[in-house]
Structure 1
Amino acid sequence: MSTEDSVVLLTGAASGIGAATARAFADAGWTVYATDIESGFPDDIRERCRCLELDVTDDAQIAAVVDHIGSEAGRLDCLVNNAGYGVAGPVEDVSSDEVREQFDVLVHGPHRLVQAVLPEMREHGGRIITVSSVLGHTASPGLGAYSAGKAAVESLTDALRIEIAGADELHVSLVEPAWVETGFADGALGRLSEEDRTPAYDRTYDGLEDGWVLTGGPLATTPEAVAASVLAAATDDPPKARYPVGAFATFVRWTHWLPARLQDPIHRGFGRASAFLGRWLG
């Protein structure tokens, strides 16, 4: 896919993976519409991209942003669904309201945007790329709600890819990192309640707070590595359906083929062992 005069709409672009992706597209010569729920974009992104506020849970705001891009740029070649955040905690302790709000961003947000951009993309082709996670395939103790959201958006994206198969120059891809060096873990930890913790899950909380369940520790990759995969999904001819980011993400993605009697001890053991190492090394 040629990047000359190409236009991309990117959500969650003010920090982390989104900011790195905005820079990668700008470096490649794209016109980048960088959006986020708040307007606190880094200076270099403000200088190189066209920055807009966008809450992916707001239908009216999505329609306004897509209409604005159509009027100003005349086309939209790529949508990158990246906006998201993590709700951490054992399934029993996470409230239904927290799960519902997270699903509205992780699942309904991409769905709203797909519905908004596809009619225009159908006229000349385009790419729809969703930044998911290998946790959409392999859940982790303490991240059940987040894993469920990613599993849902994976299924939604797979269905869309199959439904538009054969449409001229319309392509759908998933980018699947494992852990990434961003503010994701800090945000998820900040939402963990100190109250109403079920004592039976003390080890799960240890894995979240002291271990590598949220951060990945030394196994985490960089936002730039994820951004490179997103750009590849936007430019490869043809693009792949899935782009696991890094060897460890590929390994984690395929562990879901193991029987539960083997998977479950691995996931339990990772949280406990990393909590021990985190305290020992820290």
Structure 2
Amino acid sequence: MKVLITGAANGIGEATTEKLLEKEIEVIAVDNDKDALKELSEAVKTYECDVRNENEVQDLVGGLEFDVLVNCAGFYELGAVADVSSDTAEKMIDTNFHGYLNLIRHSMETLRDSDGRVVNVSSIAGRVSTPYFGVYSASKHAVEAMSDALRMRKHRTTWM
């Protein structure tokens, strides 16, 4: 089994990478942090890619074979909704939602061929928001909605 993990060089993505390696599962690590990628085990194939950049994602995924996509790349900056800059809000939505969407769209052919799976790492903040988490929660709620749609599609027998 081959698993492609985004955000694989830090946080939950890094922990997932390490856990899969312990289980002797082949990992393809994707991150935009070139220096952090260098710190991963030599057993991991690493690729620098900004998940927000659809062209980079398309080029990356087009040349790889894998059975599972783990979307784990993420970005957050806390602040009151009225105080979060447009640039920061855009970066959160672009990374946390559009990045996942880019990977899913460009991986779907590969995943269908291998009867593969998509794992979208989200957050409880995608279900319940609190002060200073409004924009982050919005980005994760979008991931929740998209994941629900993907999950339901798996069980339908015809296209609508």
State the TM-score, normalizing by the size of structure 1: 0.53
- The correspondence for 1:18, drawn from 5, 13, 31, is 13
Q: 2:152 is matched by which residue type in structure 1?
A: I
**Could you list the per-position Cα deviations for residues 107-141 of structure 1 after superposition, in whole angstroms to 9, with x for gaps in the alignment?**
11111111111112112201100110001111011
Change (3 A) 1:125 1:58: same
Q: CA deviation at 1:41?
A: 2.8
How far, CA to CA, are the matches of 2:156 and 2:113 in structure 1? Answer: 14
Gaps of 5+ in 1: 1-5, 70-74, 168-282
1:107 corresponding residue in structure 2: 97
How far, CA to CA, are the matches of 1:146 and 1:118 in structure 2? Answer: 26
- The correspondence for 2:151, drawn from 157, 161, 179, is 161
How far, CA to CA, are the matches of 2:129 and 2:15 in structure 1? Answer: 26
Question: RMSD of the alignment, in Å?
Answer: 1.5
How far, CA to CA, are the matches of 2:7 and 2:152 in structure 1? Answer: 26
How far, CA to CA, are the matches of 2:38 and 2:93 in structure 1? Answer: 30
Q: CA deviation at 1:42?
A: 5.9
SS in structure 1 opposite 2:112?
A: helix
Change (3 A) 1:156 1:42: closer
1:60 corresponding residue in structure 2: 55
CA contact (8 A) 2:75 2:91 kept: no
How far, CA to CA, are the matches of 1:36 and 1:44 in structure 2? Answer: 12
- The correspondence for 2:110, drawn from 116, 120, 137, is 120
How far, CA to CA, are the matches of 2:94 and 2:74 in structure 1? Answer: 10
Q: CA deviation at 1:68?
A: 2.3
> After the TM superposition, which residues 1-282 of structure 1 pair with which residues of structure 2 at under 5 Å, given as runs?
6-41=1-36, 45-69=40-64, 75-166=65-156
CA contact (8 A) 2:62 2:106 kept: no
SS in structure 1 opposite 2:66?
A: coil
Change (3 A) 1:166 1:76: farther
What is the aligned-residue identity percentage? 36
Q: CA deviation at 1:66?
A: 1.0
CA contact (8 A) 2:37 2:46 kept: no
Q: CA deviation at 1:22?
A: 0.6
CA contact (8 A) 2:31 2:37 kept: no
State the TM-score, normalizing by the size of structure 2: 0.91
Q: CA deviation at 1:96?
A: 2.4
How far, CA to CA, are the matches of 1:158 and 1:42 in structure 2? Answer: 31
Q: 2:98 is matched by which residue type in structure 1?
A: H
How far, CA to CA, are the matches of 2:146 and 2:116 in structure 1? Answer: 18
4+ aligned runs moved over 4 Å, structure 1:
none
**Could you list the per-position Cα deviations for residues 45-79 of structure 1 after superposition, in whole angstroms to 9, with x for gaps in the alignment?**
2412001101001111111211221xxxxx31100
SS in structure 1 opposite 2:144?
A: helix
**Could you list the per-position Cα deviations for residues 131-188 of structure 1 after superposition, in whole angstroms to 9, with x for gaps in the alignment?**
1000111101111111111111100111111123257xxxxxxxxxxxxxxxxxxxxx
Gaps of 5+ in 2: none
